[in-house]
Amino acid sequence: MQTVAQILHALQAGEISSREITADVLARIERLDPQVHAFLTVTPEAALQAAAEADRQRLAARRAGQTPPPLLGLPLAVKDVLSTRGIRTTCGSRILDNYIPPFDATAVQRLKAAGAIIVGKTNTDEFAMGSSTENSAYGVTHNPWDLERVPGGSSGGSAAAVAARMVPVALGTDTGGSVRQPASFCGVTGLKPTYGRISRYGLIAYGSSLDTVGVLTQTAEDAALFLHLMAGQDPLDATSMDVPRPPQRLEGREDLRGLKIGVPREYFTEGIQPAVARAVHAALDVMADLGAAIEETSLPHTEYAVPVYYLIATAEASANLARFDGIRYGPRAQAEQMWDVFFRTRGQYFGPEVKRRIMLGTYALSAGYYDAYYGQAQKVRTLIKRDFEEAFEQVDLIAAPVAPTTAFRIGQHSGDPLSMYLEDVFTLPANLSGVPGVSFPVGFDDLGLPIGMQLMGPHFQETRLLHAAHIYQQATDWHRHQPDLLAGD
Ligand code: GLN
């Protein structure tokens, strides 16, 4: 599978039609997805019809001497927590088993307006709560690099679909690492934009003060194009910001000269797998050779990120998930009394992790415990945010591992929620402070599993981090490696 940039180039040059590339994508999904299970829904008829229409539109534009929309005819996969008009959207939950949204999420709508074609919806932990896709009610996604291992999560389906080269690009969401960590586990590039950069309208809410829409691609260059197309204020999301859209292309920089990259000492602690630390340091050496100045920095409140996040995210989730009551959406349990309808529906159709989080969040918000838990977490969140503000007075970017380990075995953490939560330690701080982060491949461990590294930057400086990742990708080829699953492809 080519990159988005290559496919768009071939479409524009008339070397390939949208019907051909869409049929190729669908054939790959048919061949590989029985092993990977990245998709919850595939929409072949609608996709092929849209592709034929895109080919007609391109021809008409050419004849009229007009420029066609930038993504015209490009196939795309969408995480199943983003609303897609007319296409089942489950959030990986039985409680939305039969839900078909009557509208598109703004991010999806903007990409459709740019000509993209949805080929399917990807697997996710239920309501994006998890780090492995094991919490999906529809079965786990398998990591294309080792089918016995998780792809990460919660956007594990999107990461696996791009890693297995079933699609050139997939949308994800990142509330506490759900784009960056699966990107790292699957050897692809994942962008989590600044909070407020892309509208959350139509993203089925998990933690509203943390949720962001992101994208998984093979290259930083492709991520920049999608950021450009999805970014911008939206009257339907009051937290979307009115700031200039980042540019479509990463131009005007040949190397990393003049860039100061800080490496926080708190991110290289005991629990980190030695191969991960080694690969990140090797990548920093490459960046130094490319002209960057690397220096140690500190984010002193990092150790509080896990407890703070798991109080705030669960508190917000407990409020957001109140709407799933069996009346407005999805299946309904039968009972005589109204309250029993609510109880039974929620009891039957929410999975165990979602119930655990609703209980945690409700407890953290309850009278008598609010100040001790939720209120305290909000204060420490401010300290974590300040850590970044202070660090960014000294450095332009912060470089760190994405996760302490490479992809773990299916089942390894599933009996122990706390050990799963601890996997998120390096990704949560960016969500708590709202800053952007990009994850990209920088090597492999002894088992041949991909290792990712992340760059974080000040609010709305996505282009700075994507540009640095792009320069790195031009000097290295980690992002071009493909899983053995594709041998002979
Ligand atoms: N793993 C984290 C959680 O379970 C983050 C998930 C996410 O970013 N959606 O909440």
| Ordered structural domains, the chain, with CATH | 4-247+254-300+384-486 (3.90.1300.10)
Q: From ligand 1's centre to the CA of 405, what distance in Å?
A: 16
For ligand 1, atom 10, the nearest C-alpha belongs to 129
The answer to whether 195 touches 434, Cβ cutoff 8 Å, is yes
Lowest average pLDDT, out of 46-55, 192-201, 419-428, goes to 419-428
Query: Which atom of ligand 1 is nearest the CA belonging to 353?
Result: 4
Q: From ligand 1's centre to the CA of 407, what distance in Å?
A: 16
In terms of C-beta density within 10 A (0-12 exposed, 13-18 middle, 19 or more buried), how is residue 95 classed?
buried
For ligand 1, atom 4, the nearest C-alpha belongs to 130
The answer to whether 210 touches 195, Cβ cutoff 8 Å, is yes
Question: What's the whole-model pTM score?
Answer: 0.98
Name the residue type at position 220.
A
Q: From ligand 1's centre to the CA of 423, what distance in Å?
A: 10
Q: From ligand 1's centre to the CA of 122, what distance in Å?
A: 16
Position 38 scores a pLDDT of 98
Euclidean distance between CA atoms 202 and 187, whole angstroms:
28
Euclidean distance between CA atoms 108 and 337, whole angstroms:
39
Average pLDDT over residues 241-250: 96
Q: From ligand 1's centre to the CA of 211, what distance in Å?
A: 9
**Does ligand 1 have an atom closer than 6 angstroms to the CB of 423?**
no
Euclidean distance between CA atoms 301 and 388, whole angstroms:
10
pLDDT at 271 over 90: no
Of 389, 396, 442, nearest to 261 (Cα)? 396
**Does ligand 1 have an atom closer than 6 angstroms to the CB of 177?**
yes
Q: Active site residue: 136, 178, 433, 439, which one? A: 178
Q: From ligand 1's centre to the CA of 178, what distance in Å?
A: 5
Query: Which atom of ligand 1 is nearest the CA belonging to 155?
Result: 9
Position 414 scores a pLDDT of 84
Average pLDDT over residues 243-255: 93
| 355 given a catalytic annotation | no
**Does ligand 1 have an atom closer than 6 angstroms to the CB of 439?**
no
Position 270 scores a pLDDT of 77
Q: From ligand 1's centre to the CA of 206, what distance in Å?
A: 9
Position 269 scores a pLDDT of 81
3-state secondary structure the chain: CCCHHHHHHHHHCCCCCHHHHHHHHHHHHHHHHHHHCCEEEECHHHHHHHHHHHHHHHHHHHHHCCCCCCCCCCEEEEECCECECCECCCCCCHHHCCCCCCCCCHHHHHHHHCCCEEEEEECCCHHHCCCCCCCCCCCCCCECCECCECCCCCCHHHHHHHHCCCCCEEEEECCCCCCHHHHHHHCCEEEECCCCCECCCCECCCCCCCCCEEEEECCHHHHHHHHHHHECCECCECCCCCCCCCCCCCCCCCCCCCCEEEEEHHHCCCCCCHHHHHHHHHHHHHHHHCCCEEEEECCCCHHHHHHHHHHHHHHHHHHHHHHCCCCCCCCCCCCCCHHHHHHHHHHHHCCHHHHHHHHHHHHHHCCCCCHHHHHHHHHHHHHHHHHHHHHHHHCCEEEEECCCCCCCECCCCCCCHHHHHHCCCCCHHHHHHCCCEEEEEEEECCCCCEEEEEEECCCCCHHHHHHHHHHHHHHCCHHHCCCHHHCCC
Average pLDDT over residues 193-214: 98
Name the residue type at position 403.
A
Of 37, 39, 124, nearest to 76 (Cα)? 39
Position 329 scores a pLDDT of 86
C-alpha pair distances (Å), 172 with each of 112, 300, 319, 478:
16, 29, 22, 22
**Does ligand 1 have an atom closer than 6 angstroms to the CB of 427?**
no
pLDDT at 37 over 90: yes
**Does ligand 1 have an atom closer than 6 angstroms to the CB of 424?**
yes
pLDDT at 198 over 80: yes
Give per-residue pLDDT as tens, 7-27: 999 999 999 999 999 999 999
Q: Active site residue: 17, 18, 79, 433, which one? A: 79
pLDDT at 489 over 80: no
**Does ligand 1 have an atom closer than 6 angstroms to the CB of 174?**
yes
Question: For residue 298, is the peptide bond before it cis, meaning its omega torsion is within 30 degrees of 0?
Answer: no
Q: Active site residue: 154, 155, 199, 433, which one? A: 154
**Does ligand 1 have an atom closer than 6 angstroms to the CB of 130?**
yes
Give the number of other CB atoms < 10 A from CB of residue 383.
14
Position 317 scores a pLDDT of 98
pLDDT at 114 over 80: yes
Euclidean distance between CA atoms 220 and 438, whole angstroms:
8
Position 156 scores a pLDDT of 98
Average pLDDT over residues 56-74: 97
Paired tokens of 212: 């962001």
Give per-residue pLDDT as tens, 66-105: 999 999 999 999 999 999 999 999 999 999 998 999 999 9
**Does ligand 1 have an atom closer than 6 angstroms to the CB of 135?**
no
**Does ligand 1 have an atom closer than 6 angstroms to the CB of 129?**
yes
Percent of the chain exceeding pLDDT 90 equals 95
Position 475 scores a pLDDT of 97
The answer to whether 161 touches 77, Cβ cutoff 8 Å, is yes
| 178 given a catalytic annotation | yes
**Does ligand 1 have an atom closer than 6 angstroms to the CB of 353?**
no
Query: Which atom of ligand 1 is nearest the CA belonging to 310?
Result: 10
Position 246 scores a pLDDT of 97
Paired tokens of 385: 């945010």
Give per-residue pLDDT as tens, 311-322: 999 999 999 999
| Probe residue for ligand 1, chosen from 93, 133, 154, 425 as the CB with the greatest number of ligand atoms within 8 Å | 154
Euclidean distance between CA atoms 412 and 50, whole angstroms:
42
Average pLDDT over residues 261-290: 95
Q: What is the mean pLDDT of the chain?
A: 97
pLDDT band at 415 (very low <50, low <70, confident <90, very high): confident
**Does ligand 1 have an atom closer than 6 angstroms to the CB of 131?**
yes
pLDDT at 399 over 80: yes
Position 488 scores a pLDDT of 72
pLDDT at 287 over 90: yes
Euclidean distance between CA atoms 408 and 158, whole angstroms:
18
| Probe residue for ligand 1, chosen from 175, 213, 431 as the CB with the greatest number of ligand atoms within 8 Å | 175
More confident residue, 253 or 281: 281
Query: Which atom of ligand 1 is nearest the CA belonging to 420?
Result: 1
Average pLDDT over residues 366-387: 96
Average pLDDT over residues 408-416: 93
